Structure 1
């Protein structure tokens, strides 16, 4: 007996596709408000030029971002994602910037200047940024990035290798767990290393094995939800003399093979979603 081919209307097929994606923890369409925040001409031009490498709309949609959420960004650095998240959350949500520690006896002048610059940015344009909260993050000494059980989403972009180099990675993940509500989401983007890399190799290259990130999250209490290919880069061979910093934006080798590395683009990155269990 021949099997009958099932013919479904296009709308039904699209609905099935969307339902399957959501079942794996993926959203299929970015919020128009998020798209507007990303397209804003108030974002620095240099930031917008890197959207093609960092895919902010797809990444944040995958993490499930909503405009009324409380969101903690870990180590925002120069504020690349801050320029998207803070304006997006300004009206209905709340943005926490977990920046460098400034209250420790050995806090550096660089950390103090960075925190001051971020505070000045926010206070100079409350109409754009709303009223974000700046907290300190330097595990294991400063780990309260937001009040306990208060955040809907904690995000970290390309920071795990830094914590590995300081041997504070587990303390960092435990901090995120403490800040999230039960059922809250942890979103991780990190330079993806080759399977089986040792910790010493990760420290040297800046690339981290996906299995190690998942292990850290599990040890901290998280459950893995899903991964996305949105920040994959198959051109990245991960075998450079100066590790991930050989590629843009750092281009550590300067003019040497510059065009080659520009053609590769930014690193191959894992994009992972975890959840803090509800019970």
Structure 2
């Protein structure tokens, strides 16, 4: 069986003087990032998922990023199984996760639904989705007030016990989300607090997609890094040496979170 190293963070959070700008001071304490324990889910090897990831029908550029995005481990951490109804929010034109999830759903008797405007329609009946996947979107939503209404829509669409799966560029915690969202990064505490406020329970945090090389201080925000690799904007151009150093960082430091709608929720 392929080894899965899925790190869930379970210890208590450290207080930060800037955190009150992002979440209320009386918000529940968060498990601290540095308190790591190893989560080893008891799951059977998913041959259909391995086949979807390895498929040559996926764009070559997508497959080239697997080493940094860890699709098998991440989807296993989120709890993906055959036959589920999976809703992906704003998959984008490139559809990196869609190119795995949609054929996997087809192969296993599940259902994949792509949603662009959650407050207009979630594409499924209320209380029928098994999983809602959100990848790299909270920095956009936080800038125009979409976070709370979107999370409410996700909660309504999910079954009791359903999973909200999140991958997001992660800023240093304790910062004001309004100050960093334009760079593509947001504090992990911001996402967790918003999801909890919508009724979700934080079930697990993983460092699968952490990148300690990423200091988040880039001339053009997260888009300076791969895969976008912006190198020039508004009269500022990276030198050859700067571009090489940033390429050596790889992709962003990212939080990977699993929330659950309580079983008792309607």
TM-score (norm 1): 0.75
Q: Which has the larger radius of gyration?
A: 1
1:37-94 Cα distance to aligned partner (Å, 9 max, x none) = 1000111101101111111100000011011100001101021111100111103100
1:205-263 Cα distance to aligned partner (Å, 9 max, x none) = 21110111000101110000001111000100011122211111122224722211111
Aligned counterparts of 1:228 and 1:61: Cα–Cα separation in 2: 11
CA RMSD of aligned residues (A): 2.3
Matched, 1:191 2:139: no
Q: Note the C-alpha offset of 1:178.
A: 0.7
Map of 2:114 onto structure 1: 97
Aligned counterparts of 1:264 and 1:84: Cα–Cα separation in 2: 25
Matched, 1:66 2:81: yes
Aligned counterparts of 1:201 and 1:28: Cα–Cα separation in 2: 40
Aligned counterparts of 1:97 and 1:171: Cα–Cα separation in 2: 18
1:105-144 Cα distance to aligned partner (Å, 9 max, x none) = xxxxxxxxxxxxxxxxxxxxxxxxxxxxxxxx154xx243
Aligned counterparts, 1:78-89, within 5 A: 78-89=94-105
- Kept in 2, the 8 Å contact 1:24–1:226? The answer is no
More strand by share: 2
Aligned residues: 223
Go from structure 1 to structure 2 and tell me whether the alpha carbon gap of 1:24 and 1:235 turns closer, same or farther (over 3 Å shift). Answer: closer
Aligned counterparts of 1:179 and 1:74: Cα–Cα separation in 2: 12
TM-score (norm 2): 0.78
Structure 1 runs (4+) greater than 6 angstroms displaced = none
Aligned counterparts of 1:28 and 1:250: Cα–Cα separation in 2: 36
Map of 1:212 onto structure 2: 190
For residue 276 of structure 1, the aligned residue among 243, 261, 265 is 261
Q: Note the C-alpha offset of 1:195.
A: 1.1
Matched, 1:243 2:243: no
For residue 27 of structure 1, the aligned residue among 12, 33, 41 is 41
Map of 2:243 onto structure 1: 258
**Greater RCO, CA 8 A, separation 6+:** 2
In structure 1, list runs of 5 or more residues that go unmatched. Answer: 1-13, 100-136
